[in-house]
Chains A and B, each alone.
Chain A
Amino acid sequence: MKIDQDSTLFTRIGRGVLDHLTRHHGAPAQPATAGEAPALSGRVVLVSSARPGEGKSFVAQGLARVLAEQQAGDVVWVDAAFATPLVESNIWRRGAAGLSEIMTLGSLQGLAPAGAGPDRLWRLGRGVLAQHSLLQRPDAVRKGLMALRAGFALAVLDAPSLADCGALLAEADACVLVVDSRRTSRDVAQQALAAAQLGPERLAGVVLNHRPRPIPRWLGGD
């Protein structure tokens, strides 16, 4: 079923995330410029789901784009889905260096402009050292996110499913849960949320993907 795209869809999602961050963690601001001590004022937004294949990458990319338009700081889209098999043909996504190098070596390399969209939008691949076990090490995750906070107002992490996020869940400021309405049942989503122990201060909201055709109001719909 193909439905015309709502052009304001991601705008509303981005506004909801910004509202949540402002309410619980303070508004995101561009970190201090060179020469000053890093302020670590950047915020990290995690885009995850209860199961793999629910549309996290699509939502994360759209969210990063609108967030770059809705606030004044730089935004980086980061591929943190270490558990997902890598598509080797995509050279920029694979990257010679990326988040895994930041987590292990502490050096911010492999950063590139997004190419299209706002000038403040950047992208960062997962790097060649990306291993699933790396996300389970809190010190490595903290080091990586600290570098992102120091460089960007907002970092949108395209994360693996909730069960595979590891230490990312505890370190991120906000989490956006993507739910595929065709595949994911209430029970699965509720169990994943309960296991992740995400409180309301860190769960920014839910994005319902592949929504069935809504019933119009004149037929008694929502």
Chain B
Amino acid sequence: MSRPPLLPRCAPRAARLRSARVLVAVLYRQAGLIAACLLVGTAASLALTLQQPRTDASTAEATVPAVRQGSASVRSGGAPWRDTPGAGPGNRESEAGTMSRLIEHKLALKLDLNPGLAVPPGGSRSVSFASQARTLQGKLDQIDLYLHRYPTEAGSRLIIGSPDRPTVVEGMYGRFIGWLGPLAGLLSGLLMAARRELGGDRMRSPREAERALGAPVLGAIPTLSVKARAACFGHPMGVQNA
């Protein structure tokens, strides 16, 4: 034996329609508020993203004195790798390794700045690497000679590090912040709109006022600008004291 339904069959559909109407009303009337909150959230997210600490800047700062130190030791007649800790004069293999690392570092720097130099068409990577290293070493020698000839130029040199690339974690953080702001703005806008639309017991339409007060509604006046109010009378008929 089946039990009779507690609600009429049409009730869920009516409730759904009512909810849809409320949602439409909230979105339609409070579109400006929602858009404003969305904009504020996006702006806050943008500001946060731009204020992120750039960790690569400190690395670049540290690179400059190290290379300058190398240049200074060349000027004083010594080898730049001799300033590297652990590379003593009696350790030839260590000196060669340090020099190799230094050249590789500078080559990597150059390749980073010019990716097209990585592998020449038709050539192997090791041949290209060796020739590039020789070219780079020659250029470095020319620079050192130039700085030795004109010592005052050394202070004005600026060594540019490789371009900053965010790490995986930093990238995820940036994307998270980038989405979080607009999303939070949209949600807060929807909440405020719902509160304004559904909160309290204001009479928002003539039908609501008629139902609540039991009197006919003669008219509903929208919010008018001063110009529109004056146009109602053709002239400002007096002060608006109420």
On A, residues with C-beta under 8 Å from B are 1-6, 9-10, 12-13, 16-17, 49, 52-59, 61-62, 65, 77, 79, 81, 84-85, 87, 90, 92-93, 114-117, 123, 158, 160, 176-177, 179, 181-187, 189-190, 193, 200, 203-215, 219-222
The answer on a CB contact under 8 Å between B201 and A186 is yes
Residues from chain A with a CB closer than 8 A to the CB of B212 are 186, 189-190
Residue of B nearest to A86 (CB): B241
The answer on a CB contact under 8 Å between B232 and A5 is yes
Contact with A along B202-240 (1 / 0, CB 8 A): 111111011011011111111111001101111101111
CB contact under 8 A between A9 and B221, given known A62-B233, A84-B242: yes
Residue of B nearest to A85 (CB): B241
The answer on a CB contact under 8 Å between A181 and B203 is yes
The answer on a CB contact under 8 Å between B220 and A81 is no
Residue of B nearest to A212 (CB): B204
Task: Report the separation of the CA atoms of residues A146 and B192 in the bound assembly, to the nearest whole angstrom.
Answer: 52
CB contact under 8 A between A205 and B218, given known A57-B240, A58-B240: yes
Task: Report the separation of the CA atoms of residues A81 and B24 in the bound assembly, to the nearest whole angstrom.
Answer: 41
CB contact under 8 A between A205 and B237, given known A2-B225, A54-B242: no
Task: Report the separation of the CA atoms of residues A23 and B208 in the bound assembly, to the nearest whole angstrom.
Answer: 25
The answer on a CB contact under 8 Å between B222 and A205 is no
Residues from chain A with a CB closer than 8 A to the CB of B232 are 5, 10, 58, 61-62, 65
Residues from chain B with a CB closer than 8 A to the CB of A214 are 205, 220
Task: Report the separation of the CA atoms of residues A193 and B214 in the bound assembly, to the nearest whole angstrom.
Answer: 10
Task: Report the separation of the CA atoms of residues A215 and B206 in the bound assembly, to the nearest whole angstrom.
Answer: 12
Task: Report the separation of the CA atoms of residues A85 and B237 in the bound assembly, to the nearest whole angstrom.
Answer: 18
Task: Report the separation of the CA atoms of residues A181 and B222 in the bound assembly, to the nearest whole angstrom.
Answer: 10
Which B18-53 residues have a C-beta within 8 angstroms of A?
Answer: 20-21, 24-25, 28-29, 32
CB contact under 8 A between A205 and B215, given known A2-B223, A2-B224, A185-B200: yes
The answer on a CB contact under 8 Å between A52 and B228 is no
Task: Report the separation of the CA atoms of residues A14 and B228 in the bound assembly, to the nearest whole angstrom.
Answer: 19
CB B208 to nearest CB in A, in angstroms, measures 8
* A-B CB contact pairs (8 Å), 18 listed: A1-B223, A10-B232, A17-B218, A77-B237, A84-B242, A93-B238, A115-B235, A116-B237, A186-B201, A189-B203, A203-B215, A205-B216, A206-B210, A211-B204, A211-B205, A215-B25, A220-B24, A222-B206
Residue of B nearest to A114 (CB): B237
Task: Report the separation of the CA atoms of residues A132 and B24 in the bound assembly, to the nearest whole angstrom.
Answer: 46
Residue of A nearest to B240 (CB): A57
Extra 19 A-B pairs, beta carbons < 8 Å, given A9-B219, A205-B215, A208-B219: A1-B32, A3-B222, A5-B231, A6-B222, A17-B218, A53-B242, A55-B221, A57-B242, A65-B237, A116-B235, A116-B237, A123-B237, A179-B213, A186-B201, A203-B215, A206-B216, A207-B217, A208-B221, A211-B222
Task: Report the separation of the CA atoms of residues A35 and B225 in the bound assembly, to the nearest whole angstrom.
Answer: 47
Task: Report the separation of the CA atoms of residues A214 and B223 in the bound assembly, to the nearest whole angstrom.
Answer: 12
Residues from chain B with a CB closer than 8 A to the CB of A203 are 215
Task: Report the separation of the CA atoms of residues A187 and B201 in the bound assembly, to the nearest whole angstrom.
Answer: 8
The answer on a CB contact under 8 Å between B229 and A58 is yes
CB A128 to nearest CB in B, in angstroms, measures 17
